[in-house]
């Protein structure tokens, strides 16, 4: 009987030691995300994200009539005119830089071509001074002893 009690108690203790951590860890793993109050579904199609851009920052989405009015107001501001002048001057500067780069590439190409021509002339002069041209077959005729006399 005593063995039976020890067996039952150890089984209960083992079950408790295995079951409770499993239930607790399952609760931690299966936590639900917190959603904003008022939204039943996490992907509610009615929910709108804020509209963000570089000029106005983030805010609510603007209507079409509102944006046209702000464009007219912005056009009259001197800051916009100054900004457009700066953009144009930077565009002209970029264009000038590109033209200068192309001119440098052309000059470098001409210089390299002139160097190659000079090198070829020097090589041809050296070959012409020191050696006789080879015959059509590519071999030179041997001089015979009788032709030396």
Rounded to a whole number of angstroms, the CA Rg of the chain reads 45
Q: Span 8-35, mean pLDDT?
A: 69
Nearest to 118 by CA among 110, 129, 130: 110
What does the block give as tokens for 31?
Answer: 């936590």
In a domain, residue 55? The reply is no
What are phi and psi for residue 19, nearest 5 degrees? -70, -45
pTM: predicted TM-score of the whole model, two decimal places:
0.33
Residue 140 vs residue 15, higher pLDDT:
15
pLDDT tens digits for 109-149?
Answer: 999 999 999 998 888 877 665 556 556 666 666 666 665 55
3-state secondary structure of 25: helix
Within its chain, how far is the Cα of 139 from the centroid?
A: 60
In a domain, residue 59? The reply is no
In a domain, residue 91? The reply is yes
Report the alpha-carbon angle 131-133-137, nearest 5: 130
Domain that holds residue 91: 86-126
In a domain, residue 121? The reply is yes
In a domain, residue 114? The reply is yes
Q: How many domains does one find in the chain? A: 1
User: How far is Cα 73 from Cα 68, in angstroms, rounded to an integer?
Assistant: 9
């Amino acid at each position: 009987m005593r063995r039976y009690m020890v067996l039952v108690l150890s089984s209960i203790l083992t079950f408790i030691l295995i079951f409770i951590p499993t239930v607790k860890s399952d609760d931690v793993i299966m936590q639900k995300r917190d959603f904003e109050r008022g939204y039943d579904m996490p992907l509610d199609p009615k929910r709108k994200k804020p509209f963000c851009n570089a000029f106005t920052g983030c805010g609510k989405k603007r209507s079409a009539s509102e944006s046209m009015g702000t464009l007219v107001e912005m056009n009259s501001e001197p800051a916009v005119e100054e900004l457009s002048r700066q953009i144009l001057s930077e565009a002209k500067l970029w264009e000038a830089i590109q033209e200068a780069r192309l001119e440098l590439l052309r000059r470098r190409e001409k210089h390299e071509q002139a160097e190659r021509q000079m090198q070829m002339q020097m090589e041809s002069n050296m070959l012409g001074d020191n050696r006789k041209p080879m015959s059509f077959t590519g071999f030179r005729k041997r001089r015979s002893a009788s032709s030396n006399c």
